[in-house]
Amino acid sequence: MTDRMDFFRRSEAMMAFYADARYADALNVTEQLAVEFPDEIATTSFWRVCLLSRMGKIDEALKAMSNALEGGMWWSEWQLRRDEDLTPLQGSPAFEAMVAECRARQAAAQRDSKPEVSVHLPGGDGPHPLLIALHGRGSGPDRDFRYWEPVLQMGWVLAMPQSSQLGSPNTFIWDDAARAQEEIAAHYENLRERYPMDPQRVILAGFSQGAGLAIRICLRGLIPARGFLAVVPGRIATEDLDEAIRSARGKRGYLVVGDRDPRYETSAQIHALLNRNGIPCEMEDHPEMGHEFPRNFDQSILSAMRFLMA
């Protein structure tokens, strides 16, 4: 399996072209990424459709989508309806027929999809502290494991839930936040019963969409976590945190962000909001880093543990 962080880094050129409305150049990069990263076909085939639509090449966009479906691909209707790049396609008979097919495929796949959790134990006798790490949107525990693995050498139990929500074949999402929170809370109760863990030393962590979810669950107290470790958190409205902050006394937060991450400003706002309301929060800033894990993430974990467990 290829490294998702390499894919994210290589995708920055496409994003830059897209931001400058250089859609043909963005499409060229996407075509290269599709060849080099076959595991990311769900993403690159979707980008292809979006970019052709943006370029006004409606027939080609529909053909690209049709080809992807013939190859077994599908995407959630939420994604197909929400993405503004696909606005020119909405309502066309061919597009609507393919949306209906995607909806049917997702429903069929979803029937057999259940929440799962991978648990990795450190050496030695317990009780051990517990870190729950949530994957990013369109990812899964297997893709993120190597980044969180250092906590095992630190004596922590590592639990990596996999969402039951499917965004495309073999990719998992946390789009239904209420459902995600229920699943993770249930995972915690099961972990507490089955493994020798210390309930006084629990940290919620995550990457991208999983990081945003970890922040919300921690601050709302849905799991009795000491704090959160959030790596380049995805979409999270600061106003949604206001109510949670009022009942989050005693919590701590640690943000790992990159200056080139599109959501850098949101992370900075969360950092300021928490500290302003008496919730200690550190922000580890990586210049020149985009939406990815930092290269020396094991050092970030060490710094985060010291701060969160203080």
Query: What CATH number is associated with residue 38?
Result: 1.25.40
CB of 165 within 8 A of CB of 137?
no
Residues 138 and 83 in one domain: no
- Looking up tokens 């943006």, which residue turns up? 54
Residues 123 and 105 in one domain: no
Q: How does DSSP classify residue 173? A: E
Backbone angles phi, psi at 159, to 5 degrees: -115, 130
Query: What CATH number is associated with residue 131?
Result: 3.40.50.1820
Range 58-63 average pLDDT: 98
CA distance 83 to 279: 35
Residues 209 and 167 in one domain: yes
Q: Which two tokens stand for residue 73?
A: 């691909």
Residue 3 has pLDDT above 70, yes or no: no
pLDDT tens sequence across 218-266: 999 999 999 999 999 987 877 778 778 877 788 999 999 999 898 999 9
Longest dimension (CA), the chain: 62
CB of 208 within 8 A of CB of 234?
yes
CB of 208 within 8 A of CB of 183?
no
* Last residue within a domain, chosen from 94, 111, 128: 111
Residues 236 and 299 in one domain: yes
Number of domains in the chain: 2
Residue 30 has pLDDT above 60, yes or no: yes
What is the CB neighbour count within 10 angstroms for residue 250?
10
- Looking up tokens 């706002």, which residue turns up? 269
Q: How many CA atoms lie within 13 A of 192 on its CB side?
A: 13
Q: Which two tokens stand for residue 43?
A: 């993403």
* Last residue within a domain, chosen from 83, 111, 139: 111
Query: Facing residues of 160 across strands?
Result: 118
CB of 14 within 8 A of CB of 30?
yes
Range 12-33 average pLDDT: 94
pLDDT tens sequence across 106-152: 999 999 899 999 999 998 887 999 999 999 998 889 888 999 999 99
Predicted confidence at residue 235, as pLDDT, reads 78
Residues 195 and 301 in one domain: yes
CA distance 207 to 233: 6
Residues 146 and 275 in one domain: yes
Predicted confidence at residue 145, as pLDDT, reads 92
Domain that holds residue 265: 116-308
Residues 80 and 127 in one domain: no
Residues 225 and 104 in one domain: no
pLDDT tens sequence across 144-196: 899 999 999 999 999 999 999 999 988 899 989 999 999 999 999 999 999 98
Residues 98 and 150 in one domain: no
Q: What is the three-class DSSP state of 286?
A: strand
Residues in the chain: 310
Range 13-38 average pLDDT: 95
Q: How does DSSP classify residue 250? A: T
Lowest mean pLDDT across 25-34, 191-200, 244-253, 293-302: 244-253
* Last residue within a domain, chosen from 111, 146, 167: 111
Residues 125 and 147 in one domain: yes
pTM above 0.75, yes or no: yes
Residue 301: exposed, middle, or buried by beta-carbon count in 10 A (0-12, 13-18, 19+)?
A: buried
Q: Which two tokens stand for residue 59?
A: 């027939």
Residues 94 and 169 in one domain: no
pLDDT tens sequence across 66-85: 999 999 999 999 889 999 99
Predicted confidence at residue 2, as pLDDT, reads 55
CA distance 142 to 202: 22
Q: How many CA atoms lie within 13 A of 142 on its CB side?
A: 7
Predicted confidence at residue 134, as pLDDT, reads 97
Predicted confidence at residue 65, as pLDDT, reads 98
Q: How many CA atoms lie within 13 A of 302 on its CB side?
A: 6
Range 294-303 average pLDDT: 95
Residues 78 and 12 in one domain: yes
Residue 279 has pLDDT above 70, yes or no: yes
